[in-house]
Amino acid sequence: MIEEMILWFIFGFFSLGALGINFILMRKAASKPWRLRISENYTPKTSILVPTYNESSVIAFKLQNLRKLEYPKELAQIIIVDSKSSDNTVDIVNNFLKMHSEMNVKVIVEEERKGKSSALNSALKHCDGEVIIVSDADCFWPSDILHKTLPFLSDPSVGAISGPKILLNTEYSWVTKDESTYLDSMNLVKLGESKNGSTLLFEGGFSAYKKEVLDSFDPYNTGSDDCGTVISLIEKQTRAIFVPEGRFYTVFPSRWAEKLRMKIRRANQLVRLFWKYPVLRFNHRIEDNNRTIIANTLIYLFGPIFFVLFLAVTAIVFVRYPYLIATLAVFLIPKVRNILIEAFRGFLVLFCGILGVAFRRNFLVWQTPADRSLLEEDMLRRRDLI
């Protein structure tokens, strides 16, 4: 029994324990003040990139949202880059621009669909701005987002910023409620990492980069245009930070099956992403952010494996000593049930991502999410987003 309990403790510690300890430490770090030199008058020329693929159901809303931005029109270039949509996305964009010629919008249509990162790199060649901003077509910004967030880039040490995802349909189902709770926890961790140095996780709904440090999107071909791009910034010893002021709004699938597909695709990207960091660190290509890199590598790469081993040992212990597991279930599990359930789901999804990478099941070609149909005009108007 002693050997089994030792293994049970080791596997549990390096999966659930590591996750819990990191959350506690980052929550504490998140409460610290920023140590940045921020200029509130920082108003650089910007290029806003919106990649599209079959976005006919949302692109008009996105253009209305961008039109509401409280930022000097002469400093806001907008580039719509379409990856050979098979619907009328481009026609909707062109018709909208005919009615709103005051907007500085350039439309690029790729001849071949190669994925989101490739589309962004195509658009990057046409950017005039000092700051490059990326937003997905189904993500919507408060009108003052640029005034609130771009000053963070005035600090010389900061090369990129990203913000929190807020769900417009949180109350639709238990799936969306769980996702909203998960996002709150992740945002707290990303804020703590940013206060310590850099976060490694960015969101595609709002991310902004200084053009001087942005050579390309996802240079290591991880399949994640946002998080993959951060790698090159960390290499240059430039901070990539999460700022709560950069919140953006979107919808999320209300059914578990669609959520699972999205999560496995994201897990595949994250596994490929976090494999790069220890390799670059070993080759002395990265010198800073050691604590964050070690924590994320343990959680996203090794944590799922330890967790599966933890489950296997738990099953063995349950068969041999059912009273022990029953005692834990009665006195411990109810107090942390929701946390354990979310950790259980997360680690298993990441383990599927590891298997996908091992068997070369990658997701580099951009797919239009199935949640587009959930977006309603009234949702956006209630938030004053259009």
Q: What domains can you pick out in the chain, each with its CATH number?
A: 1-386 (3.90.550.10)
Which pLDDT does position 252 carry in this prediction? 92
d(CA 340, CA 347): 10
Average pLDDT per 10 consecutive residues for the chain, totaling 386 residues: 82 91 95 93 96 94 96 95 92 94 92 88 94 96 97 96 95 88 93 95 94 92 86 92 97 87 86 87 80 90 93 82 62 59 83 82 58 82 94
Predicted local confidence at residue 254, as pLDDT: 85
- pTM of the complete model: 0.90
How far apart CA 239 and CA 130 sit, in angstroms, is 17
Distance of CA 367 to the CA centre of its chain: 16
Give the three-class secondary structure for 268. Answer: helix
Q: What is the pLDDT of residue 368?
A: 56
Which pLDDT score, from 0 to 100, does residue 81 have?
Answer: 96
Q: Using H for helix, E for strand and C for coil, what is the string for 168-188?
A: CCHHHCHHHHHHHHHHHHHHH
pLDDT for the residue 334: 54
Dihedral sign, Cα of residue 140, residue 113, residue 349, residue 160: negative
pLDDT in the model for residue 337: 61
Long-range interactions of 354-361: CB distance < 8 A, separation 24+: 354/267, 354/271, 354/301, 354/304, 354/305, 356/264, 356/267, 356/268, 356/271, 357/268, 357/271, 357/272, 357/275, 361/268
pLDDT the model gives residue 241: 97
How far apart (Å, rounded) are the C-alpha atoms in residues 323 and 315?
A: 13
What is the pLDDT, as a whole number, of residue 328? 62
